[in-house]
Amino acid sequence: MTDPETLSVTIVDGYVDEPAHFGVPPYISTYPRYAAGALVDAGVPRDRITYHTIDRLRDEPDYWRDVDEADLLLYLGGMTVPGKYVGGTPAEPDEVRKMAWTASGTTLMGGPVKFGVGDENAGATETERDDLDFDFVAKGDVEAAVYDLVESGLEGFNNRMRDVDEVSRWAQEGAFIVEQHPNHPDHLIAELETSRGCAYRCSFCTEPLYGNPTFRPPPSVVGEVDALSDYGVKHFRIGRQADILAYGGDGEAPNPDALRQLYSGIREVAPDLETLHLDNMNPITIVEWPEASREGIRIIAEHNTPGDTAAFGLESADPIVQEENNLNVTAEECFQAVKIVNEEAGWRPEDRSETEGVDNGPPTRLPKLLPGINLLHGLKGEREETYERNREFLQRVYDEGYMLRRINIRQVMAFDGTEMSDTGAAIANEHKQLFKRYKTRVREEIDQPMLERVAPPGTVLPNVHLEYHQDGKTFGRQLGTYPLLVGIPGERELERTIDIAVVDHGYRSVTGVPYPLDLNDASMDELTAIPGIGDRTAGDIVVNRPYETVADADLETQFDLSQFVTARGLEHAR
Ligand code: SF4
């Protein structure tokens, strides 16, 4: 019998990406937090629990010692939707196998990896179940498995799901683990779970494998936010749910009172939070219960932070594909839902500031909450016309003046246990060329003009975290749900944050300059990035420095430069 008091445990986070749960840095998923809480609840002292991300193991190989020496190695990971990530690289199956071979103690793995593993983490692939040479695979909830395993003296466990009391307790008790995340404290966003499961049964999706929706009551989630903020977390995303509007209801219809308790409770216990975003919202809920949904959307927009996105899983605008894959929303219904979110939540913070009713000039912040659209290709029944229908849907949204925060187009991954597993990746592979052409067209014809509408020149994005250099530019993003990628002229110091003003738009990214840009200090590249400032004007600005005020620079441009520039730092300029 192993005494929990003396047990050493290493948790390795290989990252997760599920339809309704994200955990690639800067996100931390619920898995390591809950598992750490379950370990503490089972009697393992906090200081005997070590947490590493897979990227830390790659960057600092000495940490493999912790994999080797722990009495219990817990691996958490699994990708059930494919994607490309800037903040981290998910563990590949070979790396996970190496962990099992390296570990001297007992090994357990869990998370969505239980649904299957592909040859690599990519779209248009098929997956199969594989234990990757671990002693145990948690086929139920990994946090329940680890609790029961420790309780049994590392002998074994029954696969089971945890209950609401357990998750409420473990979520709070495991909050301490965030301090061991390499991104802690400033560049870390905690994914919050409000429910699991789904009332619908789309053919490709792993979420129904969790059954019908079950909700965590508001005090459970709010208590967790309280604990996480005590450990320095300031950024939150309510992303672990199939449909935020259904929160606390009967599984399908909205319950605005529960949403109010959730959102206002979070604001109360974490008044200094810097990000509060969400992820999934089901458009069918909006169409079927429009009034309650409007109220729910208003509540969210009153409490969230700007730039929030409600991801709509339209998946296909083609009725044949919808029919064959049990998709629950038609293109027309999704359009109505897009309209309603725009009407209720598409406002910008300055629209509701004290100067309400006064013309505040050009927009200065991102809208509070906008829809995003997910489109999925390679589904059963897909044909050439499917691509045209999808494009037409997006074009209509643009032509009728509405905003989408982002369009996510991807190819299906077929998992065992979902209806797509028979079809596999065959259709996706057959349509690869078609998919590529269509994707480029959407990027050029819809994404870019839409981005100009959502974030016109002069929009300020506070706290952009600078991540990497490329082609003489610095790229960074805000923390939040689907943050915009921002390119800034010049190579600036990385791993710090700056405020930027948007000056130009690419297909899926914007160009920005530091905000406000100091005329006495700005580089030529930064000055010429501002609309209306060419090489000559920029040259004149530099030559005639310093300036006491922006007016001294006597700039003749069609643009209102006060949106971008200031004149300070005279001592620097001299
Ligand atoms: S509505 Fe469909 S895609 Fe969305 S979570 Fe439910 S089953 Fe998955």
pLDDT at 523 over 80: yes
Least confident of 11-20, 172-181, 554-563: 554-563
Percent pLDDT > 90 in the chain is 73
216/206 Cα distance (integer angstroms) = 20
CA neighbor of 276 nearest in space, from 252, 300, 241: 300
For position 127, what pLDDT does the model report?
56
Question: Reduced to 3 states, what is the DSSP secondary structure of residue 422?
Answer: coil
Instruction: Assess whether pLDDT exceeds 90 at residue 12.
Output: yes
Whether pLDDT at 125 is above 80:
no
Query: For the chain, what is the radius of gyration of the CA atoms?
Result: 25
273-290: pLDDT as tens digits? 999 999 999 999 999 999
Whether 9 shows a pLDDT value over 50: the answer reads yes
Angle in degrees, CA 272, 278, 282, rounded to 5: 155
* Least confident piece of the model among 122-126, 196-200, 226-230, 272-276: 122-126
356 or 156: which leads in pLDDT: 156
What one-character-per-residue DSSP string does 241-309 give?
SS-GGGTTTTSSS--HHHHHHHHHHHHHH-TT-SEEEE-B--HHHHHHSHHHHHHHHHHHHHHS-TTEE
pLDDT in tens, 398-450: 999 999 999 999 888 766 676 667 777 778 788 889 999 999 999 999 999 99
What's the chain's average pLDDT? 90
Which ligand 1 atom sits closest to the C-alpha of 284?
A: 1
CA atoms of 552 and 46, how far apart (whole Å) = 60
For a pocket test of ligand 1, which of 214, 321, 328 has the largest count of ligand atoms closer than 8 A to its C-beta?
328
What is the CA(242)–ligand 1 centre distance, in A?
6
Place of tokens 């083609």: 318
Average pLDDT of the residues in 203-210:
82
Neighbour count for residue 401 (Cβ, 10 Å): 9
pLDDT band at 78 (very low <50, low <70, confident <90, very high): confident
- What local confidence, expressed as pLDDT, does residue 427 receive? 82
pLDDT at residue 360 in the model: 55
pLDDT value for 571 = 47
Do residues 373 and 317 lie in contact, with contact meaning Cβ atoms separated by under 8 Å?
Answer: no
On whether the CB atoms of residues 90 and 17 are closer than 8 A, the answer is yes
Count the helix, strand and coil residues of the chain and give each as a percent rounded to the nearest 5. 40, 20, 40
Residue from 202, 204, 326 whose mutation best tests the ligand 1 pocket (most atoms within 8 A of CB):
202
The predicted structure's pLDDT at residue 118: 53
Q: What is the pLDDT of residue 559?
A: 67
- Give 202 Cα–ligand 1 centroid separation in angstroms: 6
Residue 512 per-residue DSSP state: E
Tell me, in angstroms, the distance from the centre of ligand 1 to residue 426's CA.
22
358 Cβ contact partners less than 8 Å away, ≥ 6 residues apart: none
Give 126's strand partners.
Answer: 414
Confidence at residue 574, expressed as pLDDT on a 0 to 100 scale: 37
The CA–CA distances, whole Å, from 137 to 112, 501, 540 equal 11, 48, 67
Range scoring the smallest mean pLDDT among 14-18, 125-129, 178-182: 125-129
Segment 16-41 mean pLDDT: 94
Give 91's DSSP letter: P
| Contact by Cβ (8 Å): 516, 564 | yes
Contact 390, 102 (CB under 8 A): no
Residue 74 has pLDDT above 80, yes or no: yes
Residue 186 CA neighbour count, 13 Å, CB half: 9
Residue 194 has pLDDT above 80, yes or no: yes
Which tokens hold the place of 210? 């969790």
High-pLDDT (> 70) share of the chain, %: 92
- The pLDDT value recorded for residue 128 is 60
Q: Which atom of ligand 1 is nearest to the CA of 198?
A: 6
State mean pLDDT over 547-567.
79
Q: Where in 80-135 does DSSP place strands (E)? A: 106-110
Residue with token string 């990971």: 77
Residue type, 532: G
Residue whose CA is closest, atom 8 of ligand 1?
Answer: 205
Q: State how far the Cα of 300 lies from the Cα of 127, in Å rounded to an integer.
A: 37
Question: Which band of pLDDT confidence, cut at 50, 70 and 90, is reported for residue 359?
Answer: low
Ligand 1 residue neighbourhood (C-beta within 6 Å): 19-20, 198, 200-202, 205, 207-208, 242, 282, 313, 328
173 pLDDT above the threshold of 90: yes
* The residue type at 465: H
- pTM of the prediction? 0.91
Q: How far is the CA of 481 from the centre of ligand 1 (A)?
A: 19
